[in-house]
Amino acid sequence: MSGNPDRLYDLIPVVHRMRDAGQGYPLRALLRVIGEQVDVVEQDIAQLYENWFIETCEDWVVPYIGALVGYQPADTGPRNAGSDRFLEPRRDVANAIRFRSRKGAFSILDDIATSQSGWPSRAVEFYRWLAVYQNINALQMRRGHTFDARGHAELQGPFNQIARTVDVRRISTARTVGNANIPDVGIYVWRLKPYSVTHTLAYCHDEVSPNCYLFSPLGSDTRLFNNPAAAPPRGGADLKYPSPIRRRSFERREVNGKMASGVPFYYGEDKSLAIWTGDPAQLRPVGDIVPADLSDWTSRPYGDQVAVDPERGRIMFPPDAPPKNAVWVSYTYGFSADMGGGEYVRPIRQAAKATLYQVGTGAPFATVTTALAQWRTDKPEGAVIEIVDSSVYFESIHIVLEDKQTLQLRAANGKRPVLWMVKAQAQQSGSLTVEGKGRSWFILDGVIITGRGLRVQGEVAGVAIRHATLVPGLGIDCDCNPRRASDPSIELIDAPLCLTIEHSIVGRILVERDEARTDPVRILISDSILDATGRERVALGASSKLCAYATLVLLRSTVFGELQTEAIELAEDSIIIGEIMVCRRQKGCMRFCYAPPGSRTPRRYRCQPDLVEAAVAVLFEGQDKQSDEYQDMLEGERLRVAPDFNSMRYGNSKYAQLANACAIEISTGAEDESEMGAFHDLYQSRRLANLRARIADSTPAGINAGVILTS
């Protein structure tokens, strides 16, 4: 396209341009209009050339190029902006073109799985696992190994080295899956993502002994994960994947055909785990680290040794030489999504003229309390208290907001600080207390709070909780059991007018509100987990009333516990596993959710188990609905579609993750055929469907390929 609108006018003779100038340039105006159409034609001609290539073609050309190479789009349900991150047609067709020249090659399966699903993956040919009779003149020493009880081979999983007998069941069947046959190929995928915690305070487990520590600053067992980004280039195939660290791999690994210590492959300042002790803190040498089973804390390290159990995230020092100062650690844990705060990139939102107070190592303030004291002195209209490290802060925080004042307490991007709430005085509750006047706002962003909860009272206009965790049960023990299961994580005492929870994990919410003088609080929960630590406990309710005086909006969230609220304005793509009690059923609706049988809810649309109950009723149309056969089938269908989770305990890496055996009505039951619950936006079911379709296109004839979820 030319930038000169008079390029046609400049081509005509000067005499005509002089005449045109004398008449007010009518010819130039005409040629400008013609020039615009010439530019359109030139652009179209140029785009015709660009349309020959998938990288530069227009969107409408993508399916035609795909048809030329035999690309068949997978049937993955309705598309939207979120799912297109993983199901991009242009990217799929480009990959199809790139992979067509390698079709039938085994090495292509790894690349296809990673590019189509976005998960780390590894393809395994199962015929290599089979026990075979070998020719003595052509021995294959790395095939057909029998089990060695003294060895360190992995018994199951993508790195198995143990021979097996033939399993004739197909790997691609929807029924019982077999994975040890000659034509079988397995695509192992890792769904859990590795998250790092850098230089945080280890938890001293002095209930057992002062020489016992836990990597997690919350005081719970945490399985340590391998950090693929920190893996050595030639350390082994398993170091390239975000898999849990096994004790045997941590103790011994095969390197160049010989057995060597596995500690150097995982331990170090920039690796999967590290330990600092002393004053000033010094990194413990790799030679001091001893792999151990600390399940019952019976190991006895001596001298300078430090026993480490990667499967439980435990540390033990010699009994006669416990650390005299704090112990600092870095480690990697696994979780499903960017939720609840962590060292991941998250959107930062604040007022344009907000005053910033930084807390942490190298910052102007050492504690949140001292930053709050300066904030009270300055009295800015908008302020941000930002924690710039991933340390643990033992604080007693009481915030009083003036009219139109906003305060944001947040973690810096890429940091995971922990606020351990303690009582400064006997008469204090120890909670993070927020009081306000008029149109004041409080925002909690990226912070983990344990020990106590959040208490809001006064006249606060609104509270927002984003990418934060208020530990369910106010804390967890070694086995991830709640310390105070019945205590609320959030108490709303006649305030605020609005509570917003986004991409967060919170415990029980208690609402105490005067119904005669105030309106119901509006609670908006999206992409979050509300955990009352049990099905029978109340996740949202009031202490002495049938229902909390609140209006709830629940979007793409998971609730462990009962809901007792005034009204549900909207519930969508969510899972509630406790009974629901709504006082005003005529208001609001529930769409594409799971609500337990017997719940009292507003009108429901395409919810479970309503749909399976309707299907059973159709089967028994015209028959006795009181018969035992009907009741048995009805109860069976209700149990079948009840959500099944890998873990319901906060602190577990598979917390709130739907189990592989969960009913398809739940795993694809959302409006866009993704899964219900807090991990809806991962689009896991749709990514799996797309992956299976692409693998079927690229495997040789006679080969059965199946997807195996490792986490």
Tokens of 122: 């590894």
DSSP class of residue 420? Answer: E
**Range with the lowest mean pLDDT among 104-108, 184-188, 192-196, 679-683?**
104-108
Judge whether 640 lies within some domain.
no
> Could you tell me if residue 253 is inside a domain?
yes
Q: Tell me if 645 is assigned to some domain.
A: no
Assess whether 228 and 158 both reside in one domain.
Answer: no
- The amino acid at 238: D
Please check whether residues 377 and 525 belong to one and the same domain: yes
C-alpha distance across the termini of the chain, in Å: 53
Q: Please state, rounded to an integer, the average pLDDT across all residues of the chain.
A: 88
| Predicted local distance difference test score (pLDDT) of residue 693 | 81
- At 573, which amino acid appears? D
pLDDT of 152 above 70: no
Side chain identity at residue 289, one-letter code? I
Residue 418 phi, psi dihedral angles, 5° rounding: -120, 125
Query: Percent of the chain having pLDDT more than 90?
Result: 54
Q: Residue 308 burial (CB < 10 Å; 0-12/13-18/19+)?
A: buried
List all residues 6 or more positions away from 336 whose beta carbon is below 8 Å from its beta carbon: 191, 192, 193, 654, 655, 656, 657, 679, 682
For residues 19 and 137, state if they share a domain.
no
Residue 145: predicted pLDDT = 63
More confident residue, 127 or 472: 472
Q: How many CB atoms lie within 10 A of CB 235?
A: 16
| Res. 283 pLDDT band, cuts 50 70 90 | very high
Q: Is the pLDDT of residue 167 over 90?
A: no
Residue 618, CA atoms < 13 Å, CB-side half-sphere: 6
Q: Each residue of 585-613: b (16+ CB within 10 Å) or e?
A: eeebbbbbbbbbeebebbebeebbbbebe
Q: Which residues form the domain of 235? A: 193-335
pLDDT of residue 134: 74
**The two structure tokens encoding residue 412:** 């810096």
Is pLDDT above 70 for 114? yes
Q: Is the pLDDT of residue 88 over 70?
A: no
Q: Of 20-34, 411-425, 491-505, 620-634, which one has max mean pLDDT?
A: 491-505
From the CA atom positions of the chain, what is the Rg in Å?
31
- pLDDT tens per residue across span 305-314: 999 999 999 9
Round to whole Å and give the CA distance between 331 and 596. Answer: 39
> What is the mean pLDDT of the segment spanning 628-634?
91
Which range, of 73-77, 462-466, 536-540, averages the lowest pLDDT?
73-77
Q: Is residue 151 pLDDT above 60, yes or no? A: no
- Quick one: tokens of 346? 């998250």
Task: Give the pair of three-digit tokens for residue 140.
Answer: 């294959």
Angle between helix 14-22 and helix 26-50 axes, rounded to 10 deg: 120
Alpha helices in 311-397 (DSSP H): 368-378
Distance in angstroms (rounded) separating the CA atoms of residues 96 and 165: 36
Task: Return the top range by mean pLDDT from 256-260, 439-443, 570-574, 661-665.
Answer: 570-574
Give the Å distances, CA to CA, from 321 to 16, 294, 301, 324, 414: 101, 18, 10, 8, 35
Mean pLDDT of 37-46: 85
Six-digit token pair at 189? 């995928």
pLDDT, tens digit (0-9, with 9 covering 90-100), for 13-22: 888 888 888 8
The yes-or-no verdict on residue 85 having pLDDT over 70 is no
Angstrom distances, CA of residue 70 to CA of 64, 97, 127, 157: 10, 9, 30, 33
Query: Is the Cβ–Cβ distance between 552 and 535 less than 8 Å?
Result: no
Q: How far apart are CA 190 and CA 120, in angstroms?
A: 6
Give the residue among 245, 296, 290 at the shortest CA–CA distance from 272: 245
Map residue 653 onto helix, strand or coil.
coil
For 533-557, the pLDDT digits (tens) are 999 999 999 988 899 999 999 999 9
Residues 315 and 173 in one domain: no
**Could you tell me the CA-to-CA distances from 623 to 160, 613, 618, 620, 639 in Å, in that order?**
54, 15, 10, 5, 22
Say how far apart CA 401 and CA 399 lie, in whole Å: 6
Q: For residue 571, name the pLDDT band (cuts at 50, 70, 90).
A: very high
Please name which of 98, 86, 310, 99 lies closest in space to residue 191, comparing C-alpha atoms.
86
Per-residue confidence band for 154, with pLDDT thresholds at 50, 70 and 90: low
Are 411 and 312 contained in the same domain?
A: no
- Same-domain status, 393 and 466: yes
Tokens read off for 495: 């305030």
How is residue 134 written in tokens? 């070998």
Half-sphere exposure of 632 (CA within 13 A, CB side): 3
The verdict on 173 and 207 lying in the same domain is: no
Better-scored residue on pLDDT, 675 or 89: 675
Where a domain ends, among 302, 335, 368?
A: 335
Tell me the helices (H) and strands (E) count for the chain, helix number first.
12, 40
- Which pLDDT score, from 0 to 100, does residue 636 have? 94
Distances in Å between the alpha carbon of 400 and those of 407, 425, 463? 10, 18, 13
Kindly indicate the confidence band of residue 707, based on its pLDDT and cuts at 50, 70 and 90.
Answer: confident
Asked if 596 contacts 577 with a C-beta cutoff of 8 angstroms, the reply is: yes
- The single-letter code of the amino acid at 344 is Y
Residue 17 counted as domain residue: yes
| Confidence label for 183 from pLDDT (cuts 50, 70 and 90) | confident
321 or 606: which leads in pLDDT: 606
- Provide the pLDDT for residue 689: 86
Looking at the domain assignment, is residue 699 inside a domain?
Answer: no
Q: Do 375 and 237 share a structural domain?
A: no
| Burial class of residue 138, CB neighbours in 10 A (0-12, 13-18, 19+) | exposed
Among 184, 201, 216, which residue terminates a domain? Answer: 184
What pLDDT score was predicted for residue 83? 53
DSSP annotation of 681: G
Q: Are strands 448-450 and 418-421 parallel, antiparallel or unpaired?
A: parallel
What token pair was written down for 321? Answer: 């030489």
Q: How many other C-beta atoms can be found within 10 angstroms of the C-beta atom of residue 264?
A: 16
Contact 697, 72 (CB under 8 A): yes
**Cα dihedral value 81, 87, 93, 99, nearest 10:** 150
Q: Are residues 599 and 489 in the same domain?
A: yes
Is the pLDDT assigned to residue 316 strictly greater than 70? Answer: yes
Residue 81: both structure tokens together: 């902006």
The enclosing domain of 532 has a CATH number of: 2.160.20.10
* pLDDT(74) > 80: no
Q: Per residue, what are the HEC states of 96-107? A: HHHHHCCCCCCC
CB atoms within 10 A of CB 140: 10
Same domain, 257 and 365: no
Position 532 scores a pLDDT of: 95
**Contact call for residues 42 and 50 (beta carbons, < 8 A):** no
Q: What are phi and psi of 35, to 5 degrees?
A: -65, -35
Domain membership flag for residue 306: yes
The domain boundary residue, chosen from 285, 306, 335? 335
Neighbouring-strand partners of residue 576: 559
Q: Rounded to an integer, what distance in angstroms lies between the CA atom of residue 42 and that of residue 142?
A: 63
Q: How confident is the model over 48-61, as a mean pLDDT?
A: 88
Q: What pLDDT digit, counting tens, does each position of 475-508 carry?
A: 999 889 999 988 999 999 998 999 999 999 999 9
Residue 146 has what pLDDT? 64
Q: Is position 546 within any domain?
A: yes
The answer as to whether 636 is a domain residue is no
Q: How far is CA 300 from CA 133, 321, 606, in A?
A: 46, 11, 58
Domain count, the chain: 4
- Is residue 446 located within the same domain as residue 361? yes
Per-residue pLDDT, averaged over 517-532, amounts to 94
My answer on whether 260 and 307 are in the same domain is yes
Residue 81 in this model has a pLDDT that exceeds 70: no
Local confidence band at 75 (pLDDT 50, 70, 90 cut-offs): low
pTM reported for the whole predicted model:
0.88
Q: In the prediction, which pLDDT does 289 show?
A: 95
pLDDT band at 86 (very low <50, low <70, confident <90, very high): low
pLDDT score of 390 more than 70? yes
pLDDT computed for residue 185 by the predictor = 85
Could you tell me if residue 294 is left (phi over 0), alpha (psi between -120 and 50 degrees) or otherwise beta? alpha
- Considering only CA atoms, which of 467, 376, 368, 372 is closest in space to residue 420? 368
